[in-house]
Amino acid sequence: MSRIVYVNGEFLPEDQAKVSVFDRGFLMADGVYEVTTVIDGKLVDFDGHAARLVRSLGELDMDAPHSRDEWLAIHRELMHRNDLENGLIYLQVTRGATDRDFTWPEGLEQTVVLFTQAKNVTESPAAKRGISVISVPDQRWRRRDIKTVQLLYPSMAKMAAVRAGADDAWLVEDGFVTEGTSNNAYIVKGGRIVTRDLSHDILHGITRAAVLRYAREAQMEVVERPFTIEEAQAADEAFITSASSFVTPVVKIDGTTVGLGGPGPVAKRLREIYIDESRKAAV
Ligand code: PDD
């Protein structure tokens, strides 16, 4: 089945959509992206993703090509044209196309692409059984707070994890976990939730912000500080969050079983709360 995708103002069948070979997104990874989840035909945390997009663009000296309301209208039209009830919407903005050079002309026309991925987001086998992760050095650039399309290192890390028989990788820098390849990382010890504090070292997850807010509202204790792989292996629970995985338990780290080896009560409860609240607040 062919999808309808959005490219620079047009809704087109995916095999007719085109982007220039000179696009700086293609040649230089000069672009940013967002992934927003759709549950029951509605967008989860839309405003958070829209705000982070503006910030990412600004950090790279790019303007936002559309207003929040225009983005919302494009997302909704794309959902409608693809009959998307559950899944993801991927959005990418690049600086645009120009002859290859390290500098770029000011005021280039940006390239805007959106497409859908149908997926049963709420019923995840990984969330039911929990995932295993391996640790690898974090070799990404130093501005991980900007959601750029430079995903080669995270892709290689996840591929290494899958080849090693695991599900994903946690990235480690100076002895501490930064985050997962495409998610934020957490541990739970004695009922206390620990996750790395916000800085340029990690992506400021939209799901992270919501989950920590719900956790605090439910009187759970949250501590934002770095933790090591050893501390995670000795924790009662571990989990990840992202738009596509919500809250997903981590049950094995570098071959060591975490807690009782299955999804723990804190991760399960946070997943339930997150999905319930997201359904209510989706637009
Ligand atoms: N990834 N950290 C990294 C490095 C990420 O790539 C992501 C999201 C997150 C979680 O952010 P959020 O909760 O806003 O989705 C953390 C998306 C889902 C992706 O690349 O597919």
11, 81 contact by CB (below 8 A): yes
- Identify the CA nearest to 241 among candidates 92, 84, 48: 48
Cα distance between residue 232 and residue 245, in whole Å? 20
Q: pLDDT tens, 86-136? A: 999 999 999 999 999 999 999 999 999 999 999 999 999 999 999 999 999
Q: Is 7 left (phi over 0), alpha (psi -120 to 50) or beta?
A: beta
- The residues lining ligand 1, judged by C-beta closer than 6 Å to any ligand atom, are 35, 179, 182-184, 203, 205-208, 241-244
> Is the Cβ–Cβ distance between 176 and 60 less than 8 Å?
no
Substitution site in 242, 246, 278 for ligand 1 pocket (most atoms within 8 Å of beta carbon): 242
| Residue 35 to residue 12: CA distance in whole angstroms | 20
CATH classification for the domain delimited by 4-118, as one of 3.30.470.10, 1.10.150.170, 3.40.190.10, 3.40.50.2000: 3.30.470.10
Amino acid at 101: D
Atom of ligand 1 nearest to the CA of 245: 18
Q: State the amino acid at position 123 in one-letter form.
A: E
Closest C-alpha residue for ligand 1 atom 11: 205
According to the 3-state scheme, what is the secondary structure of 12-67? Answer: EEHHHCCCCCCEHHHHHCCEEEEEEEEECCEECCHHHHHHHHHHHHHHCCCCCCCC
Closest by CA position to 157, among listed 182, 178, 175, 176: 182
Residue ranges per domain, the chain? 4-118, 125-281
Q: 87-94 and 31-39: which strand pairing? A: antiparallel
Residue with tokens 């000011």: 106
Could you tell me the two tokens for 188?
């739970």
Contact partners, residue 280, CB within 8 Å, separation at least 6: none
- In this prediction, residue 1 carries a pLDDT of 67
Give the span between the Cα atoms of 159 and 144, in whole angstroms.
Answer: 20
Task: Judge whether 189 counts as a catalytic residue.
Answer: no
Q: What's the pTM value of the predicted model, to 2 decimals?
A: 0.98
249 CB contacts (<8 Å, ≥6 apart)?
127, 130, 131, 237, 238, 239, 262, 263, 264, 267, 268
- Pocket test of ligand 1: the residue of 184, 202, 245 to mutate, having most ligand atoms within 8 Å of its CB, is 184
Q: Is 259 left (phi over 0), alpha (psi -120 to 50) or beta?
A: left
pLDDT tens figures, 2-13: 999 999 999 999
Q: Which atom of ligand 1 is nearest to the CA of 45?
A: 14
Which residue among the candidates 147, 158, 252, 268 is catalytic per the annotation? 147
Assigned superfamily of 125-281: D-amino Acid Aminotransferase, subunit A, domain 2 (3.20.10.10)
What is the chain's pLDDT, residue by residue, as a tens digit (283 residues)? Answer: 699 999 999 999 999 999 999 999 999 999 999 999 999 999 999 999 999 999 999 999 999 999 999 999 999 999 999 999 999 999 999 999 999 999 999 999 999 999 999 999 999 999 999 999 999 999 999 999 999 999 999 999 999 999 999 999 999 999 999 999 999 999 999 999 999 999 999 999 999 999 999 999 999 999 999 999 999 999 999 999 999 999 999 999 999 999 999 999 999 999 999 999 999 999 9
Give the tens place of pLDDT for each residue, 67-90: 999 999 999 999 999 999 999 999
Write down the pLDDT at residue 41. Answer: 97
